[in-house]
Structure 1
Amino acid sequence: MCTGLPNRRLLTDRLGQGMMRSEHSGKLLAVCSLDLDGFKQINDCFGSASGDAMLIGVAEHLKMALRGDDTLARMGGDEFALLLSDIESPEHCSYVLDQLLRAANRPVNIQDTKLAVTASIGVSLYPDDHGDPDALLRHADQAMYLAKQAGKNRFHLYDPERDRKAQSRRNQLERLRAALDGNQFTLYYQPKVDLRLGTMVGVEALLRWQDPVHGMLAPGEFLPMVIDSDLEQPLGVWVINQAIAQATAWLVEGLDIRVSINVSANQLLYGNFPAILCEALERYPALPAKNIELEILENAAFSDLDQAIDVLAQCERMGVHFALDDFGTGYSSLTYLRKLPIQALKIDQSFVRKMTTDSEDRGIVESVIQLAHTFQLEVVAEGVETQQHAALMQNIGCSIVQGYGIARPMPADDIPAWAKHWNQGIR
């Protein structure tokens, strides 16, 4: 113990005392984890004796910046813990922490050479963070790593509410992983019809979670948790395989329709997406690839547009179709139209729903239809909820529609009977 500072055991005793003092005084106790930035380089370049001298020097500088009731302890290596008592507010804590950062950065004279390091500090404020001693130290340590990730030579305050949300998200993702392993997901399908021909021409596959606790859940209740997580890829692969299997089963029954599958930008740019799609299609050789359509959100933020173009081109060569979904809501519509190999535009339902009462939304819908015709693309209207919507869409040049006014999403087994009734004119 080259610094002569208290160790973890003594720190734990003092932390318990500090928590009781905080409860009686009504003031905050700051539990801090401090790690030196660049200490390893000093050890590597000047030797362990110089490293020990640096630790002693920094410890002395930190002690000089502390008040009488504060505690400084060595946790091992180049990591220290500090207990700052009688903190009036987070702002007061920030002031003290700035002083500690400056103290840690003061040069230390080692072998006639002045050397300096910086520090990263993580802080948990008790009782705002109402944990036990171990939890407070752990939270301070987590905050310290965030300070390092943010660029070092700074402090970071642990946020209990943010941690609660993060923990809730982790728990939800664990339940979703278990749901995927336990076959709790299913696909519903929403029909797309051609009003001019009076036939069903396709369906859109929509994910549902058969949660044993909360029942059947729509994607809006769980998909936001999945986006950007390590579950996004395997769940996306599951959807693709299930939808292709179902399209094949319908074809065998005599129902030859196109099945649309929503695909995120992350999925497309994932290293082997074309291979995943190709493998799924090869598993069902009876199904023509043209019976599969991949829907891409128009406002998807492609981190690499050139890569996205290459991926879509590979998939297009397999024979699948592409549609640009929620068209009109993004910022790069024309760029995508010019560069992506798409065959259809889907007008965002927010415009379609209000077009009967809002002239501006109707103008947007008419412009998208004209744009689609100019590029010789199929155009599909989402959000058709009434007969008035349907009639208006057909009058302005869009005959392919979907929405609650046509049919709600339904289990796969219900689609053939629904299609038969619709095609026979039974509404």
Structure 2
Amino acid sequence: MSEYADIIINATPPPLITLDKNLRIVTANDSFYTFFHVKSENAIGYLIYELDNKQWDIPALRELLETILPQKTSFNSYLVEHNFANIGRRIMLMNAQQIEEDEDRELIILLSMEDVTERVDELVTANEEKDKLEDDLVIANKEKDKLEDDLAIANEEKDKRADELVIANEEKEHLLQKIRRAASVFTHTQESIMITDATATITEVNDTFSRITGYDSKDVLGENSRILQSGCESPEFFREMWDTLQTQGHWRGEISNRRKNGQIFPAMLSISAVKNADGLTQHYVSLSTDISSIKAYQGQLERITHYDLLTNLPNRVLVADRITQAMVQCQRGSQSLAVAFMDLDGFKDVNDKYGHNMGDELLIAVSQQMQAALHEDDTLARIGGDEFIAVMINLEKPEDSVPVLECLLKAAANPVTVGDVIMQVSVSMGVAFYPQDGVEADPLIRRADQAMYVAKQEGKNRYHLFDTAKDNLINTQRKSINDVRTAMASDEFVLHYQPKVNMQTGDVIGVEALIRWQHSVRGLVPPLDFLPVIEGHAISLELGEWVIDRALSQIIQWRSMGINLPVSVNISAYQVQQSNFTTRLATLLALHPEVAPNCLELEILETSGLHDISQVSATMNACRELGVRFALDDFGTGYSSLTYLRRLPAHLIKIDQTFVREMLENADDSTIVEAVIGLAKAFRRDVIAEGVETIPHGLALLKLGCHLAQGYGIARPMPAIDIPKWVSNWKADDSWQI
């Protein structure tokens, strides 16, 4: 470089150096040596990056120099912050520029440096203070907004308090109205109301209480509620009542009370405990209803249901129950009983010759003669037409029945005089014994019936003892169970569906699922040909669950076609009495979450097979919690019909088709149908008639107040695929629009 250049460089205040194209230091001014504490011999000729033990190998410096090298005459500036070994942390503003020397036109780089550490730090500090001021301003604005919000909330609270004051006044007025209404209800309700304190001392009664019991308020206020006790209930009954009140806070049940005149009457009683904030009972409120009329109606219906109206003898329902009870008694005493199924010989000829009225007189007389031939504890029943059943109990051995059987033959053959006409018939009897020929009433009756036909074939006016190999029966049942199991594995069972309708409105209210066996040889087999054989066996539970599962699937399929139909499914007494029935039902419902549980109705066949009514009632209530509904099927055919109706939580009762089918020709059946409809209304249950086979059947039912029906006169059971078309085409008969 020229001498003048050196002078200029040294005269420049900021540190300054020149570099050749290889970035080696060519010259440096005094400011450079002074500022960076570097000696000339440690700088000239060195690569800039190796300066001061490579302290100058700074990335920002490299970027500056490598950017300027290829560009000839150019100028760039970089801020370089570095912790130098000799002077510590500094921020340098470095300017680099390429220039040419005049002599040899060599390119050199002029690198000047200015210490801007203090200026940059001051600027950073100023910016930080500015940011802090801005943050403080934001906080101040937020505080201002919060104060404004608090003011708004305070104003809202003031308005709310004003509104609450208005509402409180309205609620006070509403409460006064409720108190007035409650007082009016207390005074005028049709239910008897009695209020006692915690010690059962009567503190208040309403007018209905006085009307029902005969006690004025002045007669009972201050008296203990025991004044109404009739003495019909045991001390244990009242202990259980009070235990329930203490633990649950309420009790409901049937009780016998005594009026002021001493008359005892049945009542439906509900007691609730009223407690204070500490949980201590302050009062008891009891509501009761006189159910004397219902009881009388119930007695009338039980008489109709369980006795033959012509002869006043027990009917088939009652005699089956007595056989069951006698079996229990025989089992305890290791005794036998005999069931004789009797059919009068020649009775049809009497009817044809003298007419039905004379035939009825003959039936009454013969029944009285046969009744006289039996022991006091024995039972004679008329089960229809000219058929009777005699039950002989307390037999040490089957042979002990022979003298009684002989007496029955003689009694039936005695001539009967009606007016001026002397008539004579005889009887053919079939006899079966417990426990030799059966351990249930229905099979025993059936076997006695079979034996009676043998007596007919052998010449009539005699008896025949049932005799069959038990092994054959067992083998037959075992084969039938295996056949059913194979049919399930082969998917041979199908469901047909019978529509249920509202005859008055014309609505289709649902369908009943009825199982069929699509047998490879026998064709479509009805349920009565295979269900009775498997009843009480585990396979019946599997088949029952299959029916429920298939019915739920069918509901979904119909819904996809725009048809929403509830489906009812028959379940046996054996199935509903399984301890895990509710759990299994919940599992089946969970497999079909698309189906609302109230679309499924379970029809319980009314039978003596329901041994533990309390347990069945608890199971039904648990299933109702799931949403499933219940119906009592074949109502009126079981001995405990009214017990079931009172204790089982079924919303629907189905009038048995045997009564409905004959109601137009048989006055007794019509009376039973009318009685069941009346009972359903009394107990606030829906009622549906089965066996509606003709338009006149439906019309008669409508006139009796029964609107729901199913039967061949409406539709036969059909495959699921046929239901949509039937639903769209069906129309109620015009004569039903009454």
TM bracket, shorter-chain basis: 0.5 to 0.7
Shift of the alpha carbon at 1:319? 0.9
Corresponding position of 1:334: 642
- Structure 1 residues 250-259 or 308-317, which shifts more? 250-259
- Equivalences for residues 165-176 of structure 1 within 5 A: 165-176=473-484
Do the aligned partners of 2:480 and 2:534 also contact (CA within 8 Å) in 1? no
- Measured in 1, the distance between the counterparts of 2:524 and 2:488 equals 14
Does residue 248 of the first structure (1) align with residue 544 of the second (2)? no
Deviating above 3 A after TM superposition, structure 1's stretches of 4 or more consecutive aligned residues are 423-427
Corresponding position of 2:676: 368
Does residue 179 of the first structure (1) align with residue 487 of the second (2)? yes
Q: Counterpart of 1:408 in structure 2: which amino acid?
A: R
- Measured in 1, the distance between the counterparts of 2:572 and 2:473 equals 24
- Equivalences for residues 78-227 of structure 1 within 5 A: 161-227=469-535
Do the aligned partners of 2:571 and 2:603 also contact (CA within 8 Å) in 1? yes
Q: Counterpart of 1:202 in structure 2: which amino acid?
A: G
- Measured in 2, the distance between the counterparts of 1:311 and 1:419 equals 34
Percent identical across equivalent pairs?
A: 45
Q: Give secondary structure in 1 for the equivalent of 2:601.
A: strand
- Measured in 1, the distance between the counterparts of 2:640 and 2:589 equals 31
Do the aligned partners of 1:261 and 1:292 also contact (CA within 8 Å) in 2? yes
Aligned residues: 270
Corresponding position of 2:717: 409
Distance 1:230 1:379, change over 3 A: same
Shift of the alpha carbon at 1:299? 2.1
Shift of the alpha carbon at 1:303? 2.2
Q: Give secondary structure in 2 for the equivalent of 1:168.
A: helix
What's the C-alpha RMSD, in Å, of the aligned pairs? 1.9
Q: Give secondary structure in 2 for the equivalent of 1:231.
A: helix
Shift of the alpha carbon at 1:237? 0.8
Corresponding position of 1:294: 602
Max Rg structure: 2
Do the aligned partners of 1:381 and 1:402 also contact (CA within 8 Å) in 2? yes
- Measured in 1, the distance between the counterparts of 2:673 and 2:734 equals 28
- Measured in 2, the distance between the counterparts of 1:164 and 1:422 equals 48
Do the aligned partners of 1:372 and 1:379 also contact (CA within 8 Å) in 2? yes
Structure 1, residues 239-283: CA drift from partner, whole Å, max 9, x if none?
110111112222232211221100111101112111111111122
Corresponding position of 2:574: 266
Do the aligned partners of 1:324 and 1:346 also contact (CA within 8 Å) in 2? yes
Q: Give secondary structure in 1 for the equivalent of 2:469.
A: helix
- Which residue, out of 651, 657, 662, partners 1:354? 662
Do the aligned partners of 2:637 and 2:656 also contact (CA within 8 Å) in 1? yes
Do the aligned partners of 2:602 and 2:628 also contact (CA within 8 Å) in 1? yes
Shift of the alpha carbon at 1:423? 4.9
Corresponding position of 2:585: 277
Q: Which runs of 5+ in 2 are unaligned?
A: 1-398, 400-466
Do the aligned partners of 1:325 and 1:347 also contact (CA within 8 Å) in 2? yes
Shift of the alpha carbon at 1:161? 2.2
- Measured in 1, the distance between the counterparts of 2:617 and 2:503 equals 33
Distance 1:299 1:231, change over 3 A: same
Shift of the alpha carbon at 1:300? 4.3
Corresponding position of 2:331: none
- Measured in 2, the distance between the counterparts of 1:301 and 1:198 equals 36
Shift of the alpha carbon at 1:165? 2.2
Do the aligned partners of 2:555 and 2:565 also contact (CA within 8 Å) in 1? yes
Does residue 396 of the first structure (1) align with residue 671 of the second (2)? no
- Measured in 2, the distance between the counterparts of 1:258 and 1:380 equals 15
Q: Counterpart of 1:217 in structure 2: which amino acid?
A: V
Do the aligned partners of 2:504 and 2:732 also contact (CA within 8 Å) in 1? no
Distance 1:365 1:424, change over 3 A: closer
Do the aligned partners of 2:695 and 2:733 also contact (CA within 8 Å) in 1? no
- Measured in 2, the distance between the counterparts of 1:271 and 1:376 equals 29
Higher normalized contact order (CA 8 Å, seq sep 6+, divided by chain length): 1
Shift of the alpha carbon at 1:160? 7.2
Structure 1, residues 17-56: CA drift from partner, whole Å, max 9, x if none?
xxxxxxxxxxxxxxxxxxxxxxxxxxxxxxxxxxxxxxxx
Q: Which runs of 5+ in 1 are unaligned?
A: 1-90, 92-158
- Measured in 1, the distance between the counterparts of 2:632 and 2:720 equals 24
